[in-house]
Structure 1
Amino acid sequence: MAPTAATVTPAGSAPTTEEELQKTIAKLASLKPLGHTNHKDGRTKFGKEASWIESLPEPARQRFERHGIDLSGGYPITPDPDLIPKFVDEAFAVRNEDYAYIERGKNADPEKKALFGAAKEVKHLTKHLGTEIVGLQLSDLNDKQKDELALLVAERVVVFFRDQDLAPQKQLELGKYWGQVEIHPQVPRVPNGVNGDDLNGITVIWQDYSRAVNGLDLSFKHAIGGNSQWHTDLVHEHQPAGITHLHNDTIPEVGGDTVWSSGYAAYDKLSPALQQFLDGKTAIYRSAHQYIDRENPLRGPKPILREHALVRTHPATGWKSLYVNKAMTVRIVGLEPEESKLILDYLFSIYEKNLDIQVRFNWKPSKPGLGTSAIWDNRISQHNAVWDHEGLEPRHGTRVTSLAEIPYFDPNSKSQRQALGLSLD
């Protein structure tokens, strides 16, 4: 396994009165993820009492019914409050052990003959990131094609498939092939199959629900929050997110795009002197959700904090990627706070402001009743869901994230442009 980065341990335990503790736990129930505030209309709070089955968009309902998803108990399935971690050390302990990870793209055919040979068309959307595969159903891929797809994603950052009739069961199966599937203790999920299939690990991406139920504050004047900001998924994990697969089954007629930005290219935008300074450094990353600190339970909520490589090497390509994002990168280890902020703000701007290292994708399928999938690698990217449809049309999807290796930096690795023999000017 690749060398590990140091971890940031959570606070230990300290005595407090039972009354104080219970008040703090009750307060926790009202906490929202970082960047979220209560929605102005004060509608239903997040919890088991909220069943949105009647509001489920028709394309999503038809997909679920077609593929045997049990909607009889309502939708979505929300976590049992008794099972949600309430203390930061509890949440830190979730998946806090090494597990064997197989990089499926590492030994794939570099020419991807099995994958490309089965497709009707392969379209590169920009020069160095974003590829659309036409004429293939993800549910039909064999293992060789899955390996080649993993390599393609590692090279091109994000790969798209329109006109998919994708069962949630198949989406989960594909995610498990690429790594341990993340099961989030705090987010809504898809119900199990009518035949008893356990579909825990398929999370629901539905901004209408998040706005009304979980207080996500999105509007025309405040179009930043939740997935509608530059971010990388699950950076606080012991082994953070690798490949994420979002299948949108309900897509606005106009708008609702998503933008991805390349970590490979962001690194190559830096001067050699700054690259050399950052190589081998680590940073502190935080979770989107917050929890009670046992040591100081009355001082308010705390996120999980984890230390990882700031520049990481991708095990399939061997290329260096800049592993930062404004939403969840806290500081660079070893620097003074002012120094860290100055450098991080610049690194964030590289990702966010350079249009030549971004790809913007419109999800609309060409065939009615079908959906579109995006499969991207969180190790080498940030993404941002554009809130231009303003919730006037529904946008609904299901997401499966496969966790990957502990981030590491190989001093012998090359940047993307070095490896491809491109100009570094």
Structure 2
Amino acid sequence: MPVPVANHVEKLPPASRERLVRAGIDLTNYPEWPPKPKSLTLAAKVREEERPHIERGKNADPEKKALLKAAKEVIHLSKHIGTEIVGLQLSQLTDQQKDELALLIAERTVVFFRDQDLTPQQQRDLGAYFGEVEVHPTAPRVPGLPGVSIIWPELARQERVGFRNPFGTQDWHTDLTHEKQPPGITHLHNDTIPSIGGDTYWASGYSAYDKLSPAFRAKIDGLQAVYRSAHVYKNPEDPDGPLVPIERVHPLVRTHPATGWKSLFVNRKYTLRIVGFEPAESKIILDYLFDVYERSLDIQVRFKWTPGTSALWDNRISIHAAVFDYEGHEPRHGTRVSSLAEVPYFDPQSKSRREALGLDKPEDFLPKKEIIY
């Protein structure tokens, strides 16, 4: 982790500064850095106790009339994932519309809103409606607003950042899978973006699972895997040893409580191994699942940001990656709020998305003939 600079306020992009000042944020010491836990034991105890969670989309109107009829336009960006809502302000949604938005995110994985007038305080309030706001123990945050993390590559700038030195967020990943209750809905609002580049990819965990044959699904349903934290800590049991991450066990396939659909819950960056398997066996299975998730272009969406855009996605059913093709030559700045969800679970009675929607056909699973060119 780079050594934090005490104050970057002089480098704030104009649009970002204007948004923060308008919201009454004290920029005297921007950003605010929380004290990092000094040991693995302390870090693991940050959110060890189970928290109650209300799944807002579970009882929402399936037709989402209050939300969708109020919009000027609803644009589905691809067949399996990604929807843009035009003409609504997130800061003005009613509770009914918020519930329907939660269901829409659960179904479409990621939903976008451009031209938002959202303050960091309003962003945090919306996140708190969807679940307990995650207060990151190490991430830079907006002063006075624990839970509103700052996403600003300038804070991680090294001596040489460019084409051959991409940030780790350019790798496919899911946020905070080591948590006891990993995030459900995450909301990133970008107030400053590069003129070219800086897009973000998302991929659908529902559709990644649907890519698997029924026989293969049956093999992995109910399995558990070990997930690691991005940050590493000193181990009190081995004070002279290497720094180690937090590890947590979750289902390899999880059921979404609002849709009842099964989703692949793996990511190459933070999923370490499958419980009960030999290392070589685990690696073969995980590498295949990673490849299906990352390489299936038809289950992905690439989004081009504009200033003042919000993206709300469900971490339980997706992986994402930020594209660092602008190489740090232009600023990119935003704020992120993640809402913690339920303890991950697998319901054997749940169905895949395609099964639930009646989209699977018997011929989809017939062996393919090899074509030799």
Bin of the TM-score, shorter chain as denominator length: over 0.9
Aligned length: 362
Deviation >2 Å, runs of 4+: none
Q: CA deviation at 1:372?
A: 0.2
1:136 aligns to what SS in structure 2?
coil
Aligned to 1:167: 119
Q: CA deviation at 1:130?
A: 0.1
- Distance 1:264-1:226 versus aligned 2 partners, 3 A rule: same
Q: How far does the alpha carbon of each residue in 1:103-128 deviate from its partner, in whole angstroms, 9 at most, with x for none?
A: 00000000000001111000000012
Q: Which residue of 2 aligns with 1:3?
A: none
For 1:53, the equivalent position in structure 2 comes to 9
Kindly provide the CA deviation profile for residues 221-250 of structure 1, in whole angstroms up to 9, marking residues without a partner as x: 233x33211000010101111000000000
Structure 2 residue 163 is the aligned partner of structure 1 residue 220 = yes
1:109 aligned residue:
61
Aligned counterpart, 2:193: 251
Which residue of structure 2 aligns with residue 373 of structure 1? 310
Structure 2 counterpart of 1:293, from 235, 244, 262: 235
**3-state SS, counterpart of residue 115 of structure 2:** strand
Separation of aligned partners in 2, 1:89 and 1:111: 46
Counterpart-to-counterpart distance in 1, 2:88 and 2:154? 30
1:243-286 deviations in Å (ceiling 9; x for gaps): 00000000111110000000000000111111001000000000
Summarize the Cα distance change of 1:218–1:307 in structure 2 as closer, same or farther, 3 Å threshold: farther
Partner of 1:78: 33
Equivalents in 1 of 2:21, 2:138: separation in Å? Answer: 25
Sequence identity percentage:
64
In 1, the alpha carbon distance for the partners of 2:113 and 2:242 equals 43
Q: Does 1:336 align with 2:273?
A: no
Partner SS, residue 204 of structure 1: strand
Q: 1:324 aligns with which of 241, 263, 266?
A: 266
Aligned to 2:257: 315
**Matches of 1:218 and 1:118 in 2, distance apart?**
44
Give the aligned partner of residue 354 of structure 2. 417
Per-residue deviation, 1:423: 2.5
Deviations 1:19-59 (A, max 9, x none): xxxxxxxxxxxxx3xxxxx7xxxxxx32xx52000001111
User: Aligned equivalents of 1:287 and 1:218: distance in 2?
Assistant: 24
Hey, what does 2:179 align to over in structure 1? 237
* Residue 397 (structure 1) aligned to one of 334, 350, 372: 334
Corresponding position of 2:157: 211
Separation in 2 of the partners of 1:258 and 1:304? Answer: 27
2:91 alignment counterpart: 139
Pair 1:67 & 2:9 matched: no
1:299-353 superposed Cα distances (whole Å, 9 cap, x missing partner): 1101000000110000000000000001100000010000101111111111111
Partners of 1:211 and 1:233 lie apart in 2 by 21
Match of 2:370 in 1: none
Letter in 2 for 1:207: P
* Structure 1 residue 414 displacement after superposition: 0.3
Q: Does 1:364 align with 2:306?
A: yes
Q: How does 1:21-36 map to 2 (within 5 A)?
A: 32=1
* Matching of residue 262 in structure 1 with residue 214 in structure 2: no
Per the alignment, in what secondary structure is the counterpart of residue 236 of structure 2?
coil
Normalised by the size of structure 2, how large is the TM-score? 0.95
Q: How many Å separate the matches in 2 of 1:50 and 1:299? A: 30
- Aligned equivalents of 2:24, 2:6: Cα separation in 1: 22
Answer yes or no: is 1:123 the counterpart of 2:75. yes
AA matched with 2:214? P
Letter of the 2:344 counterpart: P
Residue matched to 1:16 = none
In the other structure, the counterpart of 1:90 is 42
- State the partner residue of 1:407: 344
Q: Displacement of 1:218 after TM fit?
A: 4.9
- Work out the CA distance in 1 between the residues paired with 2:289 and 2:162: 27
Structure 2, unaligned runs of 5 or more: 365-373
2:87 and 2:59 mapped to 1: Cα distance?
Answer: 25
1:25 maps to what in 2? none
Structure 2 letter corresponding to 1:302: V
Does the alignment pair 1:282 with 2:224? yes
Provide the rounded CA distance (Å) in 2 between the counterparts of 1:347 and 1:67. Answer: 44
Letter of the 2:78 partner, please give it: T
Give 3-state SS (helix, strand or coil) of 2:334's partner: strand
